[in-house]
Structure 1
Amino acid sequence: MALTFPLPLPDTTSMQEIEFTQNTIVGATRSIFTGEQQVQERQGKWWTVRCAIIPKTRDDAEDWVGFFTSLNGPDGSFVLGDQHNAQPRGSAATAPGTPLVFGASQVGDQLAIDGCPNDATNYLKRGDWIQLGLNATARLYRVTEDADTNGSGEVTLEIWPDLRSSPGNNDPVTLTNTAGHFRLSDTFKYRIDREHIYAIEFSATEII
C-alpha cells in the first residue's frame, strides 16, 4: 500500500531534545556616514527544528529508522510539534472551551477566535502554541502576548509567524498536542555503538 504523506511520528514520547529556530527574512542596511539603520521586514517566516531521539535498542530504534527511510529524504513529509510543551500554560490547559476561528478573511499576525470560556484571564500565555489545519495543511503558530477572553468568549491572539493563509470562519483551533507540517532538511543518518544502542538525530524545515 502506498504511503500517504504527511506521516505521524512513530511515537510522541521519544524526543530527548528538540531545538526550534525562528527564521525571519529581514533586510537591514546601515548608512556609512551616520550609522543609522533601516530595517525592512520581508514575507518569509518559518520554523526549523533539530531533534535528538532518546537512545534506543534495536527493537525500538528500527521503527524510527524505517520511518525516516520511508520519507526518502525531503521527498516525504511528516507532522511534528513541541512534545515537551504539549499543553498550553494558560487557563486553556484545563478549560479550553471549543475555540474556533472568529471571522473569515483574516490575515497578518493576529487571529480572532471565539468559543472560549467567558472572561478567562490568561486564557493563553505568551509562548503557548496553537495549530490551524490538519495533516498537510497543519500550521504551527506561537502566541506572542498573554491573551484574555471577553464576556462573550472571544479573544484576538497575537501570533508568529503571520497567517499562512486565511482560515475559514469556524475552523477549529488546536491548543493541545499542536503540530506543523515538516520535511527533512538534511540527509538522515544514525549511529549504532558496540552495545547496539542507536543514536538518532534529524533536522527538519517547516513546509510553507
Structure 2
Amino acid sequence: MRPTRSTATTPIASSRAAPARGTPLVKGANQTGSALGIDGCAADAVFLRTGDYFSVNGEYKRLIADAVADGSGETTLRFKPALRASPVDNAVIVVDAPKCVMALTDDQQGIWECDVRGVYQPKTFTATEVFS
C-alpha cells in the first residue's frame, strides 16, 4: 500500500522569531546548495532568524543563520537541508505558512483512537518529506 500524501504546516513554522517583512524572491537562477540569495526584503532589517522555516520551489527549509537584509533589501538565506533543485529567478520565498508534501512513514501512523465519550486522544506521528 502506498503512503498517503498530504501538505503539512508545522506550528513551529507559524511562530517566526523575526517579522519577515517584504516580498522575498529568489535573486538569480542556477543557485544550488545550502545558501540562496534573495531580494525584496525590507531594507536594513532582520528578515528571518536562525531556526525559522521557509519554503521555496516546493522544498521545506530551516535557517541555520540569521538573514539580515542590506540597504537594497537583499540577503542570503543559509539553511538545511540543501536544495534538491535550483529555483528559477524570482521564485517566491514562502515565509508566512511554508508547506511541503509529506507521507506517513507506515500505515500504523494513521490510526487515531478516541475514549468512550468520543474524544480523540493526543496523537503523534512520523512523516517524511516527499520529493516529487
TM-score w.r.t. length of structure 1:
0.58
Give the AA of the match of 1:164.
Answer: R
Distance 1:189 1:85, change over 3 A: same
Q: Which has the higher helix share?
A: 1
SS in 1 for 2:23: coil
Say whether 1:106 aligns with 2:31: yes
Match of 2:100 among 162, 177, 180: 180
Q: Give the equivalent residue in structure 1 for 2:14.
A: 86
Distance 2:35 2:106 in 1: 32
RMSD of aligned Cα (Å) = 1.6
Distance 1:153 1:111, change over 3 A: same
After TM superposition, which residue ranges in structure 1, 4 or more long, deviate above 6 angstroms? none
SS in 2 for 1:152: coil
SS in 2 for 1:191: coil
Say whether 1:127 aligns with 2:13: no
* 1:73 shift after superposition: 5.3
On the 8 A contact 2:13/2:98 being kept in 1, the answer is: no
* 1:193 shift after superposition: 1.7
On the 8 A contact 2:64/2:80 being kept in 1, the answer is: yes
Higher RCO (CA < 8 A, seq sep 6+): 2
Give the AA of the match of 2:115.
Answer: D
Runs (5+) with no aligned partner, structure 2: none
1:54-111 C-alpha deviation (Å, 9 max, x unpaired)? xxxxxxxxxxxxxxxxxx750x31111212441421131xxx2110000100000101
Q: Which has the higher strand share?
A: 1
- How many residues align? The count is 128
TM-score w.r.t. length of structure 2:
0.88
